[in-house]
């Protein structure tokens, strides 16, 4: 779900006149398959615990543990990515214990685009590509964002404001 909030995360420092336009994480659909696999492995392990006697409990117990760890790692990898658009910058944060934050000033952005596979289009997510002046190729990729057309539209709205003659960067 897209969140448009005014509260700033701890990894972003807003200037007095800067405000948050949009923030979100990658779509939950991206991890659905892995969570289903983890749940099936846990389920098979639980059935094995109920049905198998004595020393045979070790194998189904291991399945429960493996399935739970697999699902937990999947959720961790998903939660470590966050995207944020402010009125003057665009951010991508990765990591939980160690963090990496990439930010681009909106006035440097030259082109934006998005793409969706057929499957992604059905599920409502896709990838937004951002290119800045003076570089070749894509500078920032927002992967698996919900409603990429909306996100690209929000970036475009901010770009129009930032690049208008009335905008004062000072």
18-50 pLDDT, tens digit each = 899 999 999 999 999 999 999 999 999 999 999
pLDDT given for residue 139 in this prediction? 85
CB 151 within 8 A of CB 53: no
Domain limits, the chain: 20-27+82-162, 32-76
H or E segment to which residue 100 belongs: strand 100-105
d(CA 113, CA 124): 16
Least trusted range by pLDDT, from 51-55, 121-125, 156-160: 51-55
> What is the CATH code for 20-27+82-162?
2.30.29.30
What is the 8-class DSSP label of residue 161?
Answer: H
Q: How many CB atoms lie within 10 A of CB 90?
A: 28
Q: Are 163 and 156 in contact (CB under 8 A)?
A: no
pLDDT band at 5 (very low <50, low <70, confident <90, very high): low
Return the minimum-mean-pLDDT range out of 43-47, 96-100, 135-139: 135-139
Angle, vertex CA 126, rays to CA 5 and CA 111, nearest 5: 80
Angle, CA of 112, 118 and 123, to the nearest 5°? 85
Rounded to whole angstroms, the Cα distance separating 97 from 134 reads 33
Strands 100-105 and 109-115, bridge-based pairing: unpaired
Element (H, E) at 144: strand 140-146
From CA 104, how far away is CA 55, in angstroms rounded? 58
């Amino acid at each position: 779900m897209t969140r448009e909030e005014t509260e700033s995360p701890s990894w972003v420092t807003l200037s007095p006149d800067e405000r948050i336009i949009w923030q979100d994480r990658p779509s939950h659909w991206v991890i659905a398959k892995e969570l289903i696999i983890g749940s099936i492995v846990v389920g098979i392990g639980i059935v094995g615990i109920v049905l198998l006697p004595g020393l045979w409990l070790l194998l189904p117990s291991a399945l429960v543990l493996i399935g739970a760890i697999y699902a937990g790692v999947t959720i961790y990898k998903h939660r470590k990515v966050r995207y944020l658009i402010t009125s003057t910058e665009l951010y991508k944060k990765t990591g939980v214990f160690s963090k990496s934050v990439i930010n681009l000033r909106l006035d440097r952005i030259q082109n934006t685009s998005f793409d969706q596979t057929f499957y992604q289009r059905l599920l409502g997510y896709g990838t937004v590509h951002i290119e800045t002046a003076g570089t070749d190729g894509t500078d920032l990729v927002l992967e698996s964002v919900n409603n990429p057309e909306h996100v690209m539209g929000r970036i475009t709205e901010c770009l129009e404001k930032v690049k208008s003659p009335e905008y004062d960067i000072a």
